[in-house]
Chain A
Amino acid sequence: MRTWKFGDNIDTDAIVPGRYLTIYDPATLASHAFEGTRDEYAKQVKEGDIIVAGRNFGCGSSREHAPLALSGAGVRFIIARSFARIFYRNAISVGLLPLVCPDADKIPDGSELVVQMNEGYVVSGGKRYAIEPVPGFLQEIVNAGGLVEYARRLEEVKTCTGSRS
């Protein structure tokens, strides 16, 4: 349950380099996660570890290989000051939970961290850091366990229906 801390603008090429994009298996992708950016990550990451980052995490490509590599490594939560749009959706699609935390910068690397989803904060080093709730319509997908599960239950979709986020 340790944190792996990263800075701002961590792009999808940093998460999985372009030369591994013919791979789709999460476990194999995980063995290349952050290759060239933080080489010890793939070797030392443990089930349940948490990524903590600054602004614009996951910017760049639409490659789902990036969130898959993280979920393949057993990561369930990514806590960042902000996320790039496509990565955010992709993370939810593959069952990762991206949590926006305005004070993510203050969470130290290598610290123990506990996520209190329902209470709306995370705890690290005895300190609480507020997290923002996942927008309503995405919550349904999260609750279903990802977009595949959500879509399996749908016979058809009613287009042009919606709600305010």
Chain B
Amino acid sequence: MGKSRTIAKDLTVKRLGKISEIFPVRAECTMKFSRNAAISPQNTRTGKTHTLVKPIMAATLVEKIFSRRCGHPVRAGEVIMAPVDAAMIHDITGPLAVQKFREMGGKKVFDPGKIVLLFDHQIPADSLPAAENHVFLRKFAIEQQIENLDIKEGICHQVVMERGRTAPGEIIVGADSHTCMYGAAGAFSTGIGSTDMGFVLKFGALYFRVPETIRLDITGNFPTRVGAKDLILAIAGKIGADGATYQALEFAGETMQKMDMPGRMTCCNMAVEMGAKVGIVPPDTVTWEYLKARRKGVTPFPLESDRDATFSARHQIDVSTLSPKVATPHNVDQVVDVGKVAGTHIDQVFIGSCTNGRYEDLAEAAEVLGNRKFHDDVRVLVIPASRAEYLKALRAGIIEQFVAAGALVESPCCGPCMGGAFGLLAPGEVSLSTSNRNFKGRQGSSESFVYLCSPATAAASALRGEITDPREV
């Protein structure tokens, strides 16, 4: 068969430098009436009214969130004890957080209704210690009257999003690094450690250094079989594994506005792979519609960076010439066009995780698969990100398609993503994964290899038994 090889043009990333160089800001003291700061003081879930924010100078989206929640203008670089609107703990980081909460003298959590507790990393319990940790957290949930979603719902980040536990303008923490994903819903949300979480459980607040923002202006239409995952891998390749440390990554521009929530979640999820505190998309109709279906009494309000806000850097990215990307072992920023590694032998393909385990991701893989069978020599693991996404895929016939093609479909959980539960790799084995990290030993042996890619690339490669450009199958 004559395959036409598409020439992979590199992504255009133009560094525009500081925004002040683009729109020269007048004197520092110019006071501006921020369009958004004073609007909608309502906390959409609790109905509580926040103090109205006084007019402030041009601000970033993240600065506005902190200003809004604190009732006075807050700027990047300030360290502030900010109230927390929701806190998430899971089976790995939860037990230690609870222990620390107790060591801090904690008796009652700040607000049981604001805590999301579930198990997703090692479920169903894969070892005795895991089972004991689950029991420990179940008891804590009963004692503190916290709703416990236990092992039933799926991966923490997906569950927080789909249950509407995060909304524009809120400040959210999770004892998991990919908590940065809820910025897809216009919240400031960030991953913290267990001791910090113990503090949050006790006080309902935490010290934050308000981050500077790197703004990404994304334009153009995606070519066929190229999407959000390829975009975020390309960005990671350009910005680097520590290129956004301590900062917020704001994804804006016409391409983001056209992108659905699952795509936005994929982008924001991987912000931490560049060291960022949060990946955030200015809330728009797509965001509010998503939230309305999940939370009562939602009133949309405008929330975006002012045009002349100060960004620490600004990049323009055109996706119309983007080709499928692959992150090669063992760093997330070692990103190449799929063509560069095409033909690489693979032992296992994993389609799932909080990055790419949603219905849309499974559908993308299924579209590439069609009614064919996966290659005999490849183990294909498909794990939907949540029960809700699983059901959607089941009803659409996609699960059947995967099973018929020879895949193992597992119940919603983290699976082999972090090499704790099942699906581990032996020394020398190679995995192609739609998850977010390819660190050495991440999915098993420290002598195994993990490549990261989109669901389309994963499916195409699983068909051939080697890394394959999804536009070629």
Cβ contacts under 8 Å, B83 to chain A: 159-160
Q: Say yes or no: A89 contacts B196, CB within 8 Å.
A: yes
Determine whether the beta carbon of A160 is less than 8 Å from that of B242: no
A13 touching B437 in the complex, CB below 8 Å, given contacts A62-B93, A152-B105, A160-B72: yes
Nearest B residue (CB) for A165: B79
A93 engages B193 (CB within 8 Å):
yes
Q: How large is the interface on B (under 10, 10 to 19, 20 to 34, 35 or more residues)?
A: 35 or more
**Closest chain A residue to B207, Cβ basis:** A137
Within the complex, the shortest CB–CB distance from A81 to chain B, in Å, comes to: 10
Contact of A9 among B104, B191, B242 (CB under 8 A): B242
The residue that A84 contacts in the complex, of B242, B424, B445, with Cβ under 8 A, is B242
- Distance in angstroms between the alpha carbons of A154 and B110 in the assembled complex: 14
Q: Residue B282 at the A interface, CB < 8 A?
A: no
Closest to B240 in A: A56
Q: Which of B70, B79, B99, B241 contacts A59 (CB 8 A)?
A: B241
Question: B83: nearest residue on chain A (CB-CB)?
Answer: A159
Residues of chain A within 8 A (CB-CB) of B176 are: 61-62
From residue 4 to 59 of chain A, which have CB atoms closer than 8 A to chain B?
9, 11, 13-14, 17-19, 21-24, 35-37, 55-56, 59
Q: Is the CB of B439 within 8 A of A13?
A: yes
Contact of A24 among B99, B104, B196, B241 (CB under 8 A): B99
Q: Is the Cβ of A159 less than 8 Å from the Cβ of B133?
A: no
Mask, B72-83, CB within 8 Å of A = 1, is 101001111111
CB distance from A33 to the nearest CB of B (A): 13
Is residue B289 within 8 Å, beta carbon to beta carbon, of the partner chain?
A: no
Could you tell me if A64 and B96 are in contact, using CB atoms closer than 8 angstroms? Answer: yes
Chain A interface extent, by class? 35 or more
By the criterion CB–CB under 8 Å, are A161 and B80 in contact?
Answer: yes
Q: Main SS of chain A's interface residues?
A: loop
Do the beta carbons of A13 and B441 come within 8 Å of each other?
A: yes
Do A157 and B81 have beta carbons less than 8 Å apart? yes
**CB pair A23 B242 closer than 8 Å:** no
Contact B205 A18 (CB under 8 A): no
With A36-B441, A90-B195 known to touch, is A159 a contact of B70 (CB < 8 Å)? yes
Which residue of B82, B192, B242, B447 is within 8 Å of A82 (Cβ)?
Answer: B242
The segment from B122-130, B141-149, B301-309, B341-349 found at the interface with A is B122-130
The answer to whether the Cβ of A117 comes within 8 Å of any Cβ in the partner chain is no
* Alpha-carbon distance between A84 and B90 when the two chains are bound, in angstroms: 22
- Interfacial chain A residues near B352, Cβ < 8 Å: none
Interface string of B334-345 (1 = CB under 8 A from A): 000000000000
Nearest Cβ distance between residue B133 and chain A, in whole angstroms? 6
Compute how far the CA of A124 lies from the CA of B209 in the bound complex, rounded to whole angstroms.
Answer: 33
Cβ contacts under 8 Å, B191 to chain A: 62, 86
**The residue from B72, B80, B277, B442 contacting A13, defined by CB atoms under 8 A apart:** B442
Decide if A17 touches B419 in the complex (CB within 8 Å).
Answer: yes
Near B by CB (< 8 A), chain A positions 124-165 give 135-137, 146-148, 151-152, 154, 156-165
A94 close to B (CB within 8 Å) = yes
The answer to whether A64 touches B439 (Cβ under 8 A) is: no
B112: Cβ under 8 A from any A Cβ? no
Q: Tell me which residues across on chain A come within 8 A of B192, comparing CB atoms.
A: 62, 86, 89
- Which residues of A in the span 101-123 have a Cβ within 8 Å of any Cβ on B? none
Do A63 and B93 contact each other (CB < 8 Å), given the known contacts A89-B193, A165-B77? yes
Within the complex, which residue of B71, B81, B440 is in contact with A37, where a contact is CB–CB below 8 Å?
B440
Question: Within the complex, what minimum Cβ distance (angstroms) separates A106 from chain B?
Answer: 19
Q: Give the residues in chain B near A9, CB-CB below 8 Å.
A: 241-242, 331
Chain A residue with Cβ nearest B75: A164
Chain B stretch 161-217: residues in CB contact (< 8 A) with chain A: 175-177, 179, 191-196, 198-199, 202-203, 205, 207, 209
| Those of B45-91 within 8 Å (CB) of chain A | 69-72, 74, 77-83
**B103 interfacial contact with A, CB 8 Å:** yes
Instruction: Give the Cβ gap from B180 to chain A, nearest Cβ, in Å.
Output: 10
Contact pattern, A 56-89, Cβ under 8 Å of B = 1, otherwise 0: 1001111110010000000000000010111001
Whether, in the assembled complex, B121 has its beta carbon less than 8 Å from a beta carbon of chain A, the answer is yes
Contact residues in B for A135 (Cβ distance below 8 Å): 79, 209
Complex CA–CA separation, A18 to B83 (angstroms): 31
Contact of B100 among A21, A86, A148, A156 (CB under 8 A): A148
> Taking the complex as formed, is B232 at the interface, i.e. its CB lies under 8 A from any CB of chain A?
no
Q: Shortest Cβ distance from B128 into chain A, in angstroms?
A: 9
Residues from chain B with Cβ under 8 Å of A158 in the complex: 81
Residue of chain B at shortest CB distance from A19: B420
Q: Evaluate contact between B81 and A147: CB separation under 8 angstroms.
A: no
CB B342 to nearest CB in A, in angstroms, measures: 26
Q: Give min CB distance, B249 to chain A, whole Å.
A: 13
Known contacts A22-B130, A151-B104; A60/B437 CB under 8 A: yes
B116 to chain A, nearest CB (A): 15
A/B interface sample: 25 pairs, CB < 8 A: A9-B241, A9-B331, A13-B418, A13-B419, A13-B437, A13-B439, A13-B442, A14-B440, A18-B418, A21-B418, A22-B132, A36-B441, A36-B446, A62-B93, A62-B191, A64-B193, A82-B245, A84-B242, A85-B277, A93-B195, A136-B79, A147-B199, A151-B203, A162-B207, A163-B79
**Which 8 pairs, one residue from A and one from B, show the smallest C-beta to C-beta distance?**
A36-B446, A162-B80, A93-B195, A22-B129, A90-B193, A160-B70, A56-B242, A151-B104
**Other than the known A93-B193, A151-B104, what 4 A-B pairs have Cβ atoms closer than 8 Å?**
A19-B419, A59-B242, A85-B245, A147-B195
